[in-house]
Amino acid sequence: MTETKFTPRVFSGIQPSGNLHLGNYLGALKRFVDMQGPEMETVYCMVDLHAITVWQDPKELAHSTRELCAGFIAAGIDPEQSILFNQSQVPEHAQLAWIFNCVARMGWMQRMTQWKDKAGKNQQNASLGLFAYPSLMAADILIYHATHVPVGEDQKQHLELTRDIAIKFNNDFGVNFFPVTEPVIEGAATRVMSLRDGTKKMSKSDPSDMSRINMTDDADAIAQKIRKAKTDPDALPSEIDGLEGRPDARNLINIYAALADQSVEQVLADVGGKQFGEFKPMLAELAVAKLSPISSEMARLMNDQAEIDRILARGAERARAIAEPILRQTYDIVGMVSSARG
């Protein structure tokens, strides 16, 4: 087997399932912006096909997709430099996902913790799409031969599965066609936790709005949620060891560090010894300073939805220019006959 050299390319996505939150921003969006630059092509996607693996109201889905696009741009994604689009408009994602459904094994899917968490006790009543989610995610990445995927820590297992699918496809067909993708999980806030429970991930789908800071929250809402965030009675430690067994304290410190672009050590050196009553207003002030320019820019962009739709259409066109030939080559490798070609 000959070594193919893959051009470095970044892909990542966010579901337009509403409630874009601080965890999405620190764990994903902010990092997407950091990776944007002349040395790597960056492809970012609103994964609407993933969103419908659980029920979405059609009107809200359309609104959330546009709002998420506004969120990407407001956070610093330049739609000229990056390719920005919604997944359903590039049909090659779903087409490659079908091939991967035939490569991935039932046992692999059954082990996925996101499946177990989201399907809960009633797996029989979950959608087939929710079960197959990781195979579509592998297709999202591999249809661009993406080499680097920035995500939050919760997606690590799905990225390992993406690697397994690429490796099995390459082995089954005796090719070196799909790259073995590198997960990029970095920074102080790869797993932002719920403000109500420091052992649970902050999520769009958490029924409690107090559990998360939404990117559309105003200054008062942000301050109130931080003031009410769960904590313990002790003062903050000056060293990392002192956060052991204190998930809520650790979470607020991680959030502060990520927002301030500081290390956790630096933050603790400054705030060690303070009570939460003193630290929470500092955190609220920092969060408002960092987030309110983004939320006002999102609101401004949402005033011109036609422009958002034009950006998405242009992004889909550019994405298809990459995806279409990769799907065609995949079909050739698999042995599918096409009468359209000689």
DSSP label at residue 87: G
Is position 204 an interface residue for ligand ATP (rule: CB under 6 A)? yes
Window of 57-65, 105-113, 184-192, 314-322 that interacts with ligand ATP by CB under 6 A: 184-192
Question: What is the Cα–Cα distance from 74 to 79, expressed in whole angstroms?
Answer: 11
205 to 234: interface string for ligand ATP, x by CB under 6 A: x-----------------------------
Kindly tell me which residue out of 10, 27, 271, 323 binds ligand ATP, with binding defined by CB under 6 A.
27
The answer to whether residue 156 is catalytic is no
The answer to whether residue 200 is catalytic is no
Annotated binding site: 15-17, 23-24, 140, 152-154, 192, 201-205
Contact 84, 66 (CB under 8 A): no
For the residues of 253-269, what is the DSSP string, one character each?
A: HHHHHHHHT--HHHHHH
Return the number of the residue (15 or 330) whose C-beta is nearest ligand ATP: 15
Q: How far is the CB of 317 from ligand ATP (least distance, A)?
A: 24
Annotated binding site for L-tryptophan: 140
Return the number of the residue (26 or 301) whose C-beta is nearest ligand ATP: 26
Return the number of the residue (213 or 319) whose C-beta is nearest ligand ATP: 213
Instruction: Check 30, 201, 280, 290 and give the catalytic one.
Output: 201
Annotated binding site for ATP: 15-17, 23-24, 152-154, 192, 201-205
Is position 17 an interface residue for ligand ATP (rule: CB under 6 A)? yes
Q: Which residues of 237-267 are buried (b: 16+ CB within 10 A; e: fewer)?
A: beeeebbeebbbbbbbbbbbbbbbeeebeeb
The answer to whether residue 118 is catalytic is yes
Return the number of the residue (27 or 198) whose C-beta is nearest ligand ATP: 27
Closest-CA residue to 212 (of 262, 287, 274, 296): 287
Instruction: Check 30, 116, 200, 204 and give the catalytic one.
Output: 204
Kindly tell me which residue out of 76, 88, 94, 191 binds ligand ATP, with binding defined by CB under 6 A.
191
Give long-range contacts, CB 8 A cutoff, 24+ apart: 200-208: 201/23, 201/154, 202/21, 202/22, 202/23, 203/21, 203/23, 204/15, 204/17, 204/18, 204/19, 204/20, 204/21, 204/24, 205/17, 205/19, 205/54, 205/118
Q: Give the dihedral of Cα atoms 23, 25, 27, 30; nearest 10 deg.
A: -160
Total site size for ligand ATP, rule CB under 6 A: 19
Is position 151 an interface residue for ligand ATP (rule: CB under 6 A)? yes
Question: What is the Cα–Cα distance from 204 to 213, expressed in whole angstroms?
Answer: 10
- Helices then strands, counting H and E runs in the chain, come out as 14, 5
The rounded radius of gyration (Å) of the Cα atoms in the chain is: 21
Return the number of the residue (175 or 210) whose C-beta is nearest ligand ATP: 210
Is position 202 an interface residue for ligand ATP (rule: CB under 6 A)? yes
Contact 288, 229 (CB under 8 A): no
Is position 56 an interface residue for ligand ATP (rule: CB under 6 A)? no
Contact 256, 247 (CB under 8 A): no
Instruction: Check 118, 225, 280, 290 and give the catalytic one.
Output: 118
Q: Give the dihedral of Cα atoms 288, 292, 294, 295; nearest 10 deg.
A: 120
152 to 171: interface string for ligand ATP, x by CB under 6 A: x-xx----------------
Q: How far is the CB of 329 from ligand ATP (least distance, A)?
A: 28
- The residues of the shown chain that bind ligand ATP, judged by CB under 6 A, are 14-15, 17, 23-24, 27-28, 151-152, 154-155, 190-192, 201-205
The catalytic site residues sit at 118, 201, 204
